[in-house]
Amino acid sequence: MSISLQKGQKVSLSKDNAGLAKVVVGLGWDEVQKSSGGFLKSVFSSSPEEIDCDASAIMLRNGKLEYKEDLVYFGNLRHPSGTVVHQGDNLTGAGEGDDEQIMIDLSQVPQEYDRIVIVVNIYQAVKRHQHFGMIQNAFIRLVDARNNNEMCKYNLTEDYSGMTAMIFGEVYRHNGEWKFSAVGQGTNDPGLGELSRRYM
């Protein structure tokens, strides 16, 4: 049974899922309909392009990003260890279900990594005058790859107007078990480079 998480809530992945090895981190979002009148319409009039959200995984050693290859994103789809693999870029966020997925083999992640931060940023957000106030129905969910069972899901329901990047959640090791934390923190970082520097 899937656990519905609130912002700041943590849940153990290992404890209730014996033998858990690989998880699918699914992320989704929808663009707010441009046909909305009033204020939203005036916001969108300056931004004719589709909103392109990009999910990434930042792998940390002792809480720090030390090497550029520890950043798994559309330009580096596979971590050198093979344990974190991005399933590819979705340019529009259209359609049902997950818009982007990141596979993590928890059983094989090298011991020196203690946290994997899952972030989403809007491609060229500043140039295109786009922000997360134009996004709705955003979520992050973790699925047991053995049986496709959803273990937990966090719906980001706050108003993130003006935010160009989001820290959705973190998968982390604690006392030998893997846990997930629902973060839901918006930032004004214009791109992934600036966002990742928060962890250096």
pLDDT at 44: 47
Phi-psi region of 73 (alpha: psi -120 to 50; beta: other; left: phi over 0): beta
Q: Which two tokens stand for residue 126?
A: 């500043």
Region 45-73: mean pLDDT is: 88
Region 54-67: mean pLDDT is: 96
pLDDT at 96: 64
Q: Which two tokens stand for residue 146?
A: 């053995």
Region 11-33: mean pLDDT is: 91
Region 33-56: mean pLDDT is: 64
Spell out the domains of the chain, with CATH numbers in brackets: 3-197 (2.60.60.30)
Entry pTM: 0.90
pLDDT at 34: 63
| Structure confidence by residue, pLDDT tens digits, 130-171 | 999 999 999 999 999 999 999 999 999 999 999 999 999 999
| Per-chain mean pLDDT for the chain | 89
Region 106-133: mean pLDDT is: 95
Burial class (CB in 10 A: 0-12, 13-18, 19+), 173: middle
Task: Determine contact, residues 183/170, Cβ cutoff 8 Å.
Answer: yes
Position 149, amino acid? N
C-alpha to C-alpha distance for 190 and 200, rounded to whole angstroms? 17
Residue owning tokens 């392009």: 49
